[in-house]
């Protein structure tokens, strides 16, 4: 297991909750479909800001993201504005990069005051131990994607991509992001059973070395609530494409929920 940071502590005030969400893939498959989902996600953010103590976004908010020195991808103004509003109100937002938006390099921290993590982290929330990350490249198997991820994470790849004109580079990257399953790392969103779910196996391995009450990941695009020991469970957050699912922690229990659009 790769070494992670020490526990980050969060204490919930009475009546407050912590929200978890993942895998919006804004920008895909096209602008018209994406903006409908973006508006729905913004509506959800509005609905939770009154009782949210903090918000965790577990990656792949965008289907593609790259930060040039002076340019970021066009669009997403509604969600970026809402995240800025929530952050400015004093509600902490924690962002874990996914395999589709791994090329983050300071924009969220500087413009939105959002803390960004590039690897899984450990949190202690009301004395409950959480292990949180996007989930890509963890556990056994998926060797093709893991090799591809190393290539894209390298500083050399990032440097050469930065020399492409944004109009050309973003267009190529968006095409590959939606068409190439090896790049996405998700080729089957049907539940495979505990013995074949890589993230379940990963969680169980970690439990042999350290105790966690909750493991929270995205990436799989499938809402999952799986008890993996007498004291621990694994939650996968699903997505905002098919399920519009998220999780809520009230200080004691972590529960999967589904957003019902009342529009």
> pLDDT tens digit string along 55-70?
999 999 999 887 888 8
Domain of residue 209, CATH code: 3.60.21.10
**Is residue 186 very low, low, confident or very high in pLDDT (cuts 50, 70, 90)?**
low
pTM of model > 0.85: yes
Q: Residue 243 and residue 240: Cα distance in Å, rounded? A: 6
Q: Tell me how far the alpha carbon of residue 50 is from its chain's centroid.
A: 22
Q: What is the mean pLDDT of the chain?
A: 86
Question: Residue 263 falls within a domain, yes or no?
Answer: no
Farthest-apart Cα atoms in the chain, separation: 53
- Kindly state the tokens that stand for 82: 């809402």
Question: Residue 176 falls within a domain, yes or no?
Answer: yes
The number of helix segments (H) and strand segments (E) in the chain equals 8, 12
**205 neighbors 229 (Cβ within 8 angstroms):** no
Question: Residue 221 falls within a domain, yes or no?
Answer: yes
**144 neighbors 185 (Cβ within 8 angstroms):** no
> pLDDT tens digit string along 59-98?
999 998 878 888 888 889 999 999 999 999 999 999 999 9
Question: Residue 3 falls within a domain, yes or no?
Answer: no
Question: Residue 71 falls within a domain, yes or no?
Answer: yes
User: What's the mean pLDDT in 212-236?
Assistant: 96
Number of domains forming the structure of the chain? 1
Please give the residue that has the higher pLDDT: either 198 or 146.
Answer: 198
Q: What is the CA radius of gyration of the chain?
A: 18
Question: Residue 29 falls within a domain, yes or no?
Answer: yes
C-alpha closest to that of 2 among 182, 137, 142, 156: 137
Domain range for 209 is 15-258
DSSP 8-state symbol, 33: H
Q: Residue 56 and residue 132: Cα distance in Å, rounded? A: 9
**95 neighbors 109 (Cβ within 8 angstroms):** no
Question: Residue 123 falls within a domain, yes or no?
Answer: yes
**Is residue 183 very low, low, confident or very high in pLDDT (cuts 50, 70, 90)?**
very low
Question: Residue 6 falls within a domain, yes or no?
Answer: no
Pair type for strands 233-237 and 93-96: unpaired
């Amino acid at each position: 297991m790769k070494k992670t940071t020490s526990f980050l502590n969060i204490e919930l005030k009475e009546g407050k909750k912590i929200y978890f969400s993942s895998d919006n893939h804004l920008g895909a498959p096209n602008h018209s479909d994406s903006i409908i989902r973006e508006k729905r996600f913004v509506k959800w953010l509005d609905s939770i800001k009154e009782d949210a103590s903090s918000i965790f976004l577990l990656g792949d908010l965008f289907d593609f993201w790259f930060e040039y020195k002076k340019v970021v991808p066009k669009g997403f103004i509604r969600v970026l504005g809402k995240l800025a509003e929530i952050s400015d109100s004093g509600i902490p937002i924690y962002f874990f990069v996914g395999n589709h938006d791994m090329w983050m390099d300071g924009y969220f921290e500087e413009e939105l005051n959002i803390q960004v993590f590039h690897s899984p982290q450990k949190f202690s929330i009301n004395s409950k131990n959480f292990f949180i990350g996007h989930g890509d490249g963890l556990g056994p198997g998926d060797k093709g994607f893991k090799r591809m991820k190393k290539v894209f994470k390298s500083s050399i790849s990032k440097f050469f991509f930065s020399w492409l004109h944004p109009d050309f580079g973003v267009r190529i990257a968006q095409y590959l992001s939606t068409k190439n399953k090896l790049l996405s790392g998700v080729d089957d969103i049907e539940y495979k059973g505990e013995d074949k779910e890589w993230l379940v196996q990963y969680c169980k391995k970690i439990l042999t070395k350290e105790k966690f009450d909750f493991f929270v990941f995205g990436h799989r695009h499938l809402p999952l609530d799986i008890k993996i020991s007498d004291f621990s469970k694994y939650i996968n957050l699903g997505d905002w494409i098919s399920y519009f699912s998220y999780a809520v922690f009230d200080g004691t229990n972590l529960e999967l929920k589904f957003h019902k659009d009342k529009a």
